[in-house]
Chain A
């Protein structure tokens, strides 16, 4: 029989990991065991041998592990960590303050960064995005128009070679959508060219994006709408009815993913545009509510714009010298940087992004300064340690490494804390900002990269400086200071003072800025709009509701608790269209907001007349106009407007002048407004003035009435006008809350910074204080001695901060039509607040220092 040996491969595993020192012994033992077992129980011996080899594996016997822990770098690292730990343990307050300061500062900055990043990156998911432009027009009004005529797009595509492709969108104001039994009101319905799905990068789930919208009676819907109407059934090929189609049916030809939140166009349904009027209509220059997007190279824009201008002028019979510009807005700028007329896109406010981002940067700088100051101070405290180490034989690089790694440990820890903090505040921030920020932004590589950069920068600034300066000292000088060393220390003191002044200035700017932002936003919200907005209920009308409008109106008027009901084309709070109005003999029309209404409009909205009378019911067939004061001065100048003729579609008479009121949000000034009576151009809204005490009853009765009159339609939807205005100020409310929170953080950071520096100063000067006390100085005198330095620093900070804050505030306020007056008290108040903060935080420390018994301090001398 062939003699059996232990398997070679198992031995090789052993040789691979086992430390040389034990190898011979272990292998010998194993063999002895093997041959012993061979005699008595040889079953599965090789396997058992292998298992035994594996069981021998442990860190103490591992080659690579022992190599690692005996590496000199590891050993010195271990020592550095140990010393760091001891140092932090020795001064827990300073370490804790440095840590929390930095963690807060970084978190605030990262939040601001994520927010700014989100707002600045709207519509970036479109692959052709950088070549897409929205075609609008500027005819010399107050603002350019975002929308244009329906024929402009086909014209550009066919006649301008630089235009590569084109897609049009037409929003539908309000409609119901029906599929099977389900019939619901929808707001996100658009008509769109078939090219819309290829030009823009909406993700198709079902259907072909090239052909989905080519059939005039096709419809593409989003995933969530497909779920809403068809449940789990396959929606493709199903038929849907829409109110706007007047009896025709559409076939579902595609499903797309829900439109991303970062898109200025928000829709749920896309209907083929080819069912929107015939071929001639599609090429006509009518319907000014069409959003046209073209794809073109950025270099050819001026050429395209010129050709479009020529065509516009030709179509409108304009002269060559007329002011007219075809406005091509880059897709990426629409969300944040445009404020065009006729735009119903999802808009952000660039100012708010700037404000929040600069607050983030300021807070970060403040917290970094705190960190640097405290670190430098701590470093100086260790001059003696450095001296001793050098005497014992430490080299400079070792000392630098020691200081820098101590710093790095703290920085890394602060970075971790800030990430943790972000995780905690993430849901609150989402709710506060109202943005659907990318869910796990903590694991966002950009955030992590920024964090790493901040930490690295801080490491360089706050670590290298004290490390290099301190390690440069000569041991003898530190232990027994002579001139040059104290010079060096003084230099560090000056830099520290500069940092403190910077920090104070930023705090001053932030505090003043927050107060001004806050008061401006409250000012806007609390302004008297000049009409009733709290007791108005709106019903948006559509074609099917309009069929039995008189019945509905009569029924509503009968409900107890409803005081007034009025019909109008538009209402305050929503966009009112801007059109040209003339007086006889005028060459050019005056642009004015214009809406039609019935006689009850002024009564319902409690608007006041400054001259003339309301629409009279005595002569119902006469065309009558009401204008506001701005319009009166604009078109009639000094003449009495009452009884004057005015032309808009038809000639009529001005019967009254309404006091100026803000029918839109207070971001804009009062614009000229014309109200025309009973011109039957289709009512848009019913406004109901109700008695606040019987709201519930009124609401249920309206519901009941609508069910009786329109048994086939979805429930009628109502909206409170003050809710609508609340929505207009939503971003202001959010900004207010965020600014407040950030301002509080700033104050806390400033306090902790002052606290740290003050306690260091008090500690350094404790002997001086003790001697002064012995010589008879009073407590208040002592405190002043210590505070004096800070007050001087604050003084210089105010010199920089106050004008800076004033400059920034006026820059921001110029965007508002209605500005709160910047009262000097705000500046005085901020200065006092800062002074109080300094007194509170450093006063506590100094008081403690000046209250200590001099004997305890001086006994060691």
Chain B
């Protein structure tokens, strides 16, 4: 496999996939991200990220059921894999570790002195 690095946006998408487990496909992920972060994304952006995640082995996909709106077309549901979960976890741990090392910072507000 090429790089297994998890980018910021990929991390967000992967996280959302894990959160909406069982009903995670492009449209729901877009809606979930918008709800939680306010970021307005297009379907294609998220889909590209999902394709990439699948190539890296962080998610699996399988075809799910369909609805009337989809005109009989099935949806592809994405599910986080164990390596994906580990990668997410690692990302979180790195962040936590770094946060723990954070010293007391004082900020100069230049305009006030």
Contact = CB atoms under 8 A, between A and B. Distances in A.
Interface of A: 22, 24-33, 35-36, 52, 55-56, 58, 60-61
Contact of A31 (B25, B47, B52, B71): B71
Closest 9 A/B residue pairs (Cβ): A28-B73, A25-B76, A28-B70, A55-B44, A56-B44, A35-B69, A29-B26, A32-B69, A24-B73
A33 B44 CA distance: 12
Contacts of B73: 24-25, 27-28, 31
A32 B44 contact: no
A30 B30 CA distance: 12
Contacts of A55: 42, 44-45
A60 B74 contact: no
Contacts of B25: 25, 29
Interface of A is mostly: helix
B75 interface: yes
B44 A25 contact: no
Interface string B41-52: 011110110011
Nearest to A23: B73
B61 to A, nearest CB: 8
A30 B76 CA distance: 13
Contacts, number: 61
A33 B66 contact: no
Contact of B74 (A22, A25, A36, A56): A25
A33 B47 contact: no
Contacts of B52: 60
A37 to B, nearest CB: 11
Contacts of A31: 69-71, 73
Contacts of B70: 28-29, 31-32
A58 B76 CA distance: 19
A27 B48 CA distance: 15
Contacts of A25: 25-26, 63, 73-76
A56 B43 contact: yes
Given A28-B66, A28-B71, A60 B48 contact: yes
B50 to A, nearest CB: 10
Given A25-B25, A29-B27, A52-B42, A58 B48 contact: yes
B37 interface: no
B28 to A, nearest CB: 9
Interface string B68-92: 0111011110000000000000000
B55 to A, nearest CB: 8
B36 interface: no
Given A29-B27, A29-B47, A32-B27, A24 B74 contact: yes
A27 B71 CA distance: 9
Contacts of B48: 58, 60
30 contacts: A22-B47, A24-B74, A25-B63, A25-B73, A25-B74, A25-B75, A25-B76, A26-B26, A27-B71, A28-B73, A28-B74, A29-B47, A29-B75, A30-B43, A31-B71, A32-B67, A32-B69, A33-B27, A35-B69, A36-B27, A36-B69, A52-B42, A52-B44, A55-B42, A56-B43, A58-B44, A58-B48, A60-B48, A60-B52, A61-B51
B2 to A, nearest CB: 13
Nearest to B72: A28
Nearest to A38: B69
Nearest to B26: A29
Nearest to A55: B44
B52 to A, nearest CB: 8
B51 A60 contact: yes
Nearest to A28: B73
A677 to B, nearest CB: 98
A47 to B, nearest CB: 14
Contacts of A26: 26, 43, 47
Contacts of B42: 52, 55
A107 B102 CA distance: 64
Greatest chain A CB density within 10 A among B45, B51, B69 is at B69
A621 to B, nearest CB: 107
A24 B71 CA distance: 10
A29 B30 CA distance: 11
B71 A33 contact: no
Contacts of B76: 22, 24-25
Interface in B10-61: 25-27, 42-45, 47-48, 51-52
A63 to B, nearest CB: 15
B109 to A, nearest CB: 42
Contacts of A52: 42-44
Nearest to B77: A25
A557 to B, nearest CB: 91
A22 B26 CA distance: 12
Contacts of B69: 31-32, 35-36
A32 B45 CA distance: 16
A284 to B, nearest CB: 91
A32 B31 CA distance: 12
A320 B84 CA distance: 110
A25 B73 CA distance: 7
Contacts of B67: 32
A60 B25 CA distance: 18
A30 B46 CA distance: 13
Given A25-B75, A36-B27, 15 more contacts: A22-B76, A24-B74, A25-B74, A25-B76, A26-B47, A27-B73, A28-B66, A28-B71, A28-B73, A30-B43, A52-B43, A52-B44, A55-B42, A55-B45, A60-B51
